[in-house]
């Protein structure tokens, strides 16, 4: 069956939107999600991206999305865990409430979706989970500690899930992009105390980070990899996107932690 029924969280912009549009062009049936969407079954159209309302911190909202797709199509073949938010600021200045919020959205929301979809995949005897991670899931960046923590968590759960599903017909894949040019850069929430002795360092590092992201790869590159994964009979586990990402990963493996972190700090002007 070449046509797949695909659920993509966070499909209204950035990576999610690029993936939704491209995978639709490849002949798949696409359901995306957005917090503020309005959808009824009568609006379903297999020739367009169908956007459903989803609040990742609301289990009922998640179940409603899954049930709607099953009622319309009878199955879900692929789930792409993409939705997420950004946060920037020194560890000491970031409110714990905000740290918990980003963990709920970026990590626990995706895990909840996995828990809800796996019983359906087992009944179908088929299913593919694609988790969108980041290089920040391999090493943190200055003033990005809490965002990186969510990606570290995604990596850990994905590795555990890969081993747990090893002897089944279900699969989990992790995509690890480097810098991407999306509106994620402008939507990142920032926290810094006006009295913070790190204010100047934060502003300098954030400026470099934003410049790196704006000059990063197009999000369509993620869509290309996902289509290749969907078509493949055998899947790898971790797919790294971008030459720069590979370069930094190699450095990370060759250098001691102290030297590598010094290298990163220097890059961000620290």
How many domains would you assign to the chain? Answer: 1
- Which of 12, 13, 61, 181 is catalytic? The answer is 12
Domain range holding 13? 5-267
Give the residue from 230, 242, 238, 189 showing the smallest Cα distance to 8. 230
The per-residue b/e assignment along 39-62, b for 16 or more CB within 10 angstroms, e otherwise, is beeeebeeeebbbbbbbbeeeebb
The pLDDT tens digits of the residues spanning 104-141 come to: 999 999 999 999 999 999 999 999 999 999 988 999 99
Query: Which pLDDT does position 158 carry in this prediction?
Result: 98
User: Which tokens is 227 given?
Assistant: 């289509």
The radius of gyration of the chain's CA atoms, rounded to the nearest angstrom, is 19
Report CA-CA distances (Å) from 65 to 114, 132, 154, 156: 13, 20, 22, 26
With tokens 């359906």, the residue in question is 120
* 40 is an active site residue: no
Q: Report the distance separating Cα 260 and Cα 250, nearest Å.
A: 11
The CATH number that applies at residue 126 is: 3.40.50.720
Query: Which pLDDT does position 28 carry in this prediction?
Result: 97
User: Which tokens is 41 given?
Assistant: 């079954």
Predicted TM-score (pTM) of the model is 0.91
* 133 is an active site residue: yes
- Which of 4, 22, 151, 268 is catalytic? The answer is 151
The maximal CA–CA distance of the chain, rounded, in angstroms, is: 60
Beta-bridge partner residues of 7: 31, 79
Low-confidence ranges of the chain (pLDDT < 50): none
Query: Which pLDDT does position 197 carry in this prediction?
Result: 85
- Which of 4, 22, 133, 140 is catalytic? The answer is 133
- Which of 4, 17, 134, 147 is catalytic? The answer is 147
Do residues 34 and 12 touch, judged by C-beta distance below 8 A? yes
């Amino acid at each position: 069956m070449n046509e797949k029924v695909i659920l993509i969280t966070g499909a209204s912009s950035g990576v999610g939107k690029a993936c939704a549009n491209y995978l639709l062009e490849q002949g798949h049936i696409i359901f995306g999600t957005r917090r503020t969407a309005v959808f009824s079954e009568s609006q379903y159209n297999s020739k367009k991206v169908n956007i459903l309302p989803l609040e990742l911190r609301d289990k009922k909202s998640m179940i409603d999305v899954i049930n709607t797709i099953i009622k319309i199509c009878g199955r879900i073949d692929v789930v792409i865990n993409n939705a997420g938010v950004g946060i920037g600021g020194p560890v000491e200045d970031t409110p714990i409430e905000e740290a918990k919020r980003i963990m709920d959205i970026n990590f626990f929301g995706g895990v909840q979706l996995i828990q809800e979809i796996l019983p359906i995949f087992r009944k179908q005897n088929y299913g593919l989970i694609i988790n969108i991670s980041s290089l920040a899931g391999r090493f943190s960046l200055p003033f990005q500690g809490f965002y990186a923590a969510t990606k570290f968590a995604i990596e850990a759960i994905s590795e555990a899930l890969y081993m747990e599903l090893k002897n089944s017909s279900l699969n989990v894949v992790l995509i690890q992009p480097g810098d991407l040019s999306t509106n994620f850069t402008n939507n990142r929430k920032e926290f810094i105390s006006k009295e913070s002795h790190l204010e100047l360092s934060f502003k300098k590092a954030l400026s470099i980070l934003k410049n790196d992201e704006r000059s990063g790869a197009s999000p369509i590159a993620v869509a290309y990899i996902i289509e290749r994964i969907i078509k493949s009979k055998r899947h790898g586990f971790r797919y790294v996107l971008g030459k720069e990402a590979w370069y930094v990963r190699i450095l990370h493996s060759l250098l001691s932690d102290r030297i590598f972190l010094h290298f990163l700090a220097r890059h961000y002007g620290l």
